[in-house]
Amino acid sequence: MPEHALNGKAVLVTGGAKNLGGAISRDLAAAGASVAVHYHSRSDKGLAEDTVAACVAAGGNAFAIEADLTAVAEIRRVVDSVVDRYGALYATVNTAGLAKGAPMTEVTEEEYDAHFAINSKAAFFVMAETAKRIEDGGRIVNLVSSLLAAYTGRYSVYAGSKAPVEHFTRALSKELTGRRVSVNNLAPGPMDTSFFWDAAAPGEDEFSRAQTPLGRLTKVEDVVPWVRFLLTDGRWLNGQTVFLNGGFATR
């Protein structure tokens, strides 16, 4: 499937206003996609509007939509809005997530529930609601974490809440048999964005760099091309988790 096939294709990017999600939104718009830029709360409205403007300037169509994805009714509203606006839904790229680094003995019940609400529950229902409305031949891509393959502490609740997404992905890819819809995960390593820096302990960036043969953190630009690949020529990859981390972790 050549990249020009993204022209006019409707793509929902959850968490699409900033960091990796923002870069993905802009890249897909530059490839001609019509992008729905989801953002979580009013504090990100300005960033979402900036991303929409950049998408339009790059030659694509785009609009922003605010929603709390921990509520299934809100997920349905978002998906319905994409279909109402663009007439179809070709792909969903789920980048929304929450990360906090802390020993298990310090994780509160509220923090546990919050992580599983966005990283697991929301991911499940974003996939499920997408599957109900996605066009045949479409794509679903989830962003998970290379910590799923790492032997490390401090991220039990983050990595643990991302782990179920692998099972959801395998199940849904089978359930969509006959519709030519591929469902996959991308698992970046520790990434040089505020998502990593807000969760990292002092010195953790040096440790993460030391674990990678290339000696650096994952960059947004290391991941963005893989999303476009999965939405275009990567149709034969299905039910998989691809670790994008320069050798930080493998399995």
Residues classed as catalytic: 158
Give the pair of three-digit tokens for residue 164: 């179920």
DSSP string covering the chain: --GGGGTT-EEEEETTTSHHHHHHHHHHHHTT-EEEEEESSGGGHHHHHHHHHHHHHTT-EEEEEE--TTSHHHHHHHHHHHHHHHS---EEEE---------GGG--HHHHHHHHIIIIIIHHHHHHHHHHHPPTT-EEEEE--GGGG---SS-HHHHHHHHHHHHHHHHHHHHTTTTT-EEEEEEE-SBSSHHHHTTPPTTHHHHHHHTSTT-S-B-HHHHHHHHHHHHTT-TT--S-EEEESTTS---
Kind of pairing between the strands at 241-244 and 182-188: parallel
Q: What is the CA 247 to chain-centroid distance, rounded?
A: 21
